[in-house]
Amino acid sequence: MGALCTAIHRDKGEWGVKGILGVRSLLRQHGAIAVDDACAAALEMCVPTYRSCAYLDRNPKPPLALRQIDPLIPRADAVPDHINRMTKESPDEPR
């Protein structure tokens, strides 16, 4: 949550204080875990705004597409690279 508030203040200066207070109100309403997940998702999507976290008012859990479910499961954007590495033929393998 602190990283998102810092990003809001860096981008908007004094005008961002209202957004920071909005994030704080989400903390009181939804709890630290839900707000931290929402803030992490907002930073991951490069949208450091209060509005990117405000979906908690409509949906208390962030969509699964916005967060990594399990560290053993690769992220969707890493899958093509992984497939390319796994299917690449090495020169010493017989055909």
CA–CA–CA angle 32, 70, 62 (5° rounding): 40
Rounded-to-integer distance, Cα 86 and Cα 95, Å = 15
Domain boundaries, the chain: 2-87
Q: What percent of the chain has pLDDT over 90?
A: 8
**For each successive 10 residues of the chain (95 residues), what is the average pLDDT?**
89 90 87 86 86 74 54 66 72 55
Rounded-to-integer distance, Cα 46 and Cα 34, Å = 18
Instruction: Give the pLDDT confidence of 9-28 residue by residue, as tens digits.
Output: 999 888 889 989 999 888 88
pTM confidence score? 0.56
Which pLDDT value is given to residue 32? Answer: 86
